[in-house]
Amino acid sequence: MSSRSKASVTKRTKPIKKSLPAKQVQDFRSLLEKALTSTDHLGRSHGQSTWGVYAFYDYDGEPIYVGQTKEALGYRVRRHLTNQRTDAVAMRILDTFEVAEIELWPLWELADAPTRADKRNPEKTAAFKEAQEYLDAAEYTAYLNAIEASKFKAILNEKIPPISPSIDLPNSYRFSLITEETRAERGHPDVRIARRAETIARLAAVAHERGEVSDGLRRVLVIQAVRLAYLSAVRLAYVEGRPTPRPEAISIEGLVGSVLHESSPEDADGEAAELEF
């Protein structure tokens, strides 16, 4: 007499989504969340400031991108670095793999300002325009500071912020988004050279496939190529035992023109503008 047995079915629990990314990605997101939820001396969470400016830095502390928002700093930055739902990332201009630090300028003085114009309310429209002018000035000031701090005197903004008066920026808050373990692995020059070359290839593919792209995107392609050339030259000098090459050996202005303003009215009007989702 043969015995019959039923195979036991092992029920598996569906994993939590937060557990799915690789450890380095989890660490990055954890540090990002800690930065955005940190508070100032008044207990205000930086990421909850509706109006603000932000900047990203690479593994060398080199500024690579500056942006503004009036939809909350935390929301905007998360879209860049986690959801990847911004034009700068979608167009392969900004590689989140390269972002090692973030700097935030919450503009709390604009907390009560309307975030859009209202044709039926002239006072609200005037208040919005005044706030937007201040936001533009804050972004342009942070952009100029980033250009000055950059060894290449250029960063990866597709659209140069509108020329505005320089202002005294409020206190900023700067945070590291990578662990020492991640820095040791991703920060190796050969890893960064390979990744940067891949980023350039993707950006060039966008230009090729779309055909009609902004002048700003093509400018960023040149700047990325300069960043790759310099990183590769530094690596070569190191292995050959030579002094580190001088960044000023490459003239960004000679290659792309001025990075302090858009070169034509078409670009400034927004064809090159970053999309707001």
The pLDDT value recorded for residue 268 is: 43
Q: Note the pLDDT of residue 8.
A: 59
- The pLDDT of residue 209 is 93
Predicted pLDDT at 13: 86
- Taking the alpha carbons at both ends of the chain, their separation in whole angstroms is 69
What is the pLDDT, as a whole number, of residue 65?
96
| pLDDT value of residue 255 | 97
Beta bridge partners of 87: none
Determine the 3-state secondary structure of 242 from DSSP. coil
Residue keyed to tokens 């290659």: 255
Query: What tokens were used for 173?
Result: 């808050």
Cα separation, 192 vs 186, whole angstroms: 7
> What pLDDT is stored for residue 261 in this prediction?
94
Name the β-bridge partners of 52: 69, 106
| pLDDT in the model for residue 220 | 95
pLDDT digit of tens for each residue in the chain (277 aa)? 555 555 556 777 888 887 888 999 999 999 999 999 999 999 999 999 999 999 999 999 999 999 999 999 999 999 999 875 656 665 678 899 999 999 999 999 999 999 999 999 999 999 999 999 999 999 999 999 999 999 999 999 999 999 999 999 999 999 999 999 999 999 999 999 999 999 999 999 999 999 899 999 999 999 999 999 999 999 999 999 999 999 999 999 999 999 999 976 544 444 333 433 2
- What is the DSSP secondary-structure string of 239-277? HHTPPPPPGGGS-HHHHH--SSS-SSHHIIIIITPPPP-
What's residue 94's pLDDT? 86
Q: Which residues contact 174 (CB under 8 A, 6 or more apart)?
A: 101, 102, 103, 104
> What span, in angstroms and rounded, lies between the C-alpha atoms of 67 and 94?
12
